[in-house]
Chain A
Amino acid sequence: MKFLKSLPLIFLIFLISCSTQVSDSISQTNYKEVEGINFDEKDKIDTSLEDKVFFDFDKSTLNNDTKKILSQYVAESEKAKIIRLEGHCDERGTREYNLALGEKRAIEVKNYLIIQGVSSSKIKIISYGEEKPISFGSTESDWKQNRRVEIALF
């Protein structure tokens, strides 16, 4: 029991030793106020629409199926305060290029939604490049699922 009583102390010492190893001090900028939005996944609006649209390798063009899905979002987006678009790529090619490509994909979706009448100020985009795959294998069927833009309404 004595050991158990001393656990919080051990834990505290552990925390302190951690914090000295990685000191997390960040210089103040006005950046966070400009772009930073905290999304809480709990607040996601359930739309029952397809929440992913897919792309060809190294392409950011929208095909007809994608456009059909996106058109359905126009009415739904009326209820939403924010539309979050997350661009992703498959693992092939280079990571930083894929980060840019994921962003291009999200932008293409954004532009299409704007043309359809969605207010551009509602749309927030982010790219994760190839860093967050859905399917972890290395076959075309894995890659197909990973080349995507995920749409979420808040």
Chain B
Amino acid sequence: MKIFFIILIYFFSLNFEAKLKIEIIKGSEELPDIAIVPFKSSFGRQFEYDIRDLINEKLTLFGEFNSLELERMLSFPFNEESFYRRDWELLSMDYVVFGEVYETEGKLVLNYLVADIDLKRIILRGDITGDKKNIELITKKISDRVYESITGLKGIFNTKLAYILNPEPNKYSICVSDIDGDNEKILFSSNSPLMSPDWSPDGNKLAYVSFEKGFAEIYIQNLLTGIRETIPTLGMSKSAPVWSPDSKNLAFVISMSGNPDIYNYNLKNNKISRLTSHYGIDTEPAWSPDGKKLLFTSNRSGSPQIFEIKISNKRIKRVTLDGSYNARARFFPNGKNIVFVHGNNGIFHIATRNLKDRFVNIVTQTTLDESPTISPNGHIIIYSTKKENQGYLAGITIDRKSKFQLPVKKGSVREPSWSPFLN
């Protein structure tokens, strides 16, 4: 019987949770002031406040707005007739979000509006219908629309984050959670290292590296069915998988007798083509949004630097020139800017750069920063860093107006990978 208990404890202990929660550590003084009014409804006061709180939680998730406290509101508009602009001018608001919710044929209908106080007009009128049990998703979609109407950027509240959880030495899990930390799911756990998660462009699969068989092997796991597959090619040590934007190819690194090079694997016809063939280290490929180029890290010039290869003619060009260590680049969705790890004198920051100029823009202050991932709207970077022997995730908006952390209670979290936009 004792053995049973031990086995039970062992299995339960596999269910480590990180439960990432975003904590804002610095909000700028110049953040837009926003008021999110309780949604008028016939379901009672509590429901009105709940809807408001769900939207408020999301819009303020990354510290991009100052949200007005309920107690300071002078009126509670729910449609254009009940909206008095002067009430909000008095409170120096920039934007007001308000609306109402009712039920038709068993479904919830939410009408919502966004007023721009400066422009003196309603900038968004929307309605959304759905089941009450999907209120979380409904409020995510509303928040996405509101965010877009104010910033001009698509909202990212209905996206996910994949990451590697390392709750204690020699325990590794690959996890996926909603971007706000809710619904954390462990996809796979192992006593051997797991690395390099990367989302398929449709958001249904993850590619990653696992050492479960005693060598680095790439797995593709379906998030809906949980089924895992390997890639049927030879070669010792496969790593750094990245999906092409059209989902047809997976670029990754194969090391043949200690010489890592970049390969492109066609997922449709299983054909593999070698892209680089240098005796030095070539690794960390990253697709350009148009799928025509790959960035990669190479030490062919002596120290790790970022290079670019054109898929069509395999022509290689050096990208980074300044600093002794530039590695693991990712393109911004605009295809013009890149984010990467920039090291000088043993200190490693996250940096961004426009490919057209040489200026290196260092965006972090901590010293062991790595694995930057960019939100699908190109506005936020999440990366991993370390403090007191604990790895944790942190983030920053690219206008640097907000900084945040996603701490964990126990163990380390690393290698964040932001999902594409999801439906």
Query: A residues bordering B, Cβ < 8 Å?
Result: 4, 7-8, 11, 14-15, 18, 20-27, 29-32, 34-39, 57-58, 91-97, 99-101, 103-104, 106-107, 110, 125-129, 131-132, 136-138
Q: Which residues of B contact A95 (CB under 8 A)?
A: 195-196, 328, 370-371, 414-415
Q: Are B7 and A11 neighbours in the complex by a CB distance under 8 Å?
A: yes
B44 cross-chain contacts in A, Cβ below 8 A: none
Given the known inter-chain contacts A23-B227, A100-B253, please indicate yes or no for A7 contacting B4, CB distance below 8 A. Answer: yes
B214 touches A37 (CB 8 A): yes
Do residues A36 and B343 form an inter-chain contact, with CB atoms below 8 A?
no
B38 CB–A CB distance under 8 Å: no
Question: Which residues in B have their C-beta under 8 angstroms from that of A34?
Answer: 234
Q: Which of A14, A35, A36, A136 counts the most B-chain CB atoms under 10 A from its CB? A: A35
From B257, which residue of chain A is reached at the shortest CB distance? A107
Kindly report which residue of chain B lies nearest to residue A110, judged by CB atoms: B258
B200 at the interface (CB under 8 A from A): no
Q: Is B284 touching A96 in the complex (CB atoms < 8 A)?
A: yes
Q: What is the interface of chain B, defined by CB distance below 8 A to chain A?
A: 1, 4-5, 7-8, 11, 169-170, 186-189, 193, 195-196, 211, 213-217, 225-230, 232-234, 236-237, 239-240, 253, 255, 257-258, 260, 281, 283-284, 297, 299, 303-304, 325, 327-328, 341, 343, 346, 348, 368, 370-371, 386, 389, 414-415
Q: Which residue of B lies closest to A87 (CB)?
A: B258
Residue of A nearest to B255 (CB): A103
Q: Assess A104 versus B258: contact at CB under 8 Å? Given A92-B348, A96-B196.
A: yes
- Among the listed A27, A37, A94, which residue makes an inter-chain contact with B284, where contact means beta carbons less than 8 Å apart? A94
Beta-carbon contact of B188 and A31 below 8 Å = no
Complex contact B304–A58 (CB within 8 A): yes
| Contacting residues, chain A, for B341 (C-beta < 8 A) | 93-94
* List of A residues within 8 angstroms of B283 by Cβ: 96-97, 99-100
- Assess whether B215 is in contact with A23, with CB atoms less than 8 Å apart: no
A18 touches which of B11, B187, B214 (Cβ 8 Å):
B11
User: B328: which of A21, A37, A38, A94 is its contact (CB, 8 Å)?
Assistant: A94
B7 / chain A contacts, CB cutoff of 8 Å: 11
Q: How far is the CB of A24 from chain B (nearest CB, A)?
A: 6
CA separation between A65 and B11, bound complex, in Å? 45
- With known contacts A26-B229, A94-B327, A131–B258 Cβ distance under 8 A: no
A96-B253, A97-B304 given; A131·B386 CB < 8 A = no
Complex Cα–Cα for A25 and B368 (A): 37
Partner of A23 from the list B228, B258, B303, B328 (CB cut-off 8 Å) is: B228
Whether B232 lies near A99 (C-beta < 8 A) is: no
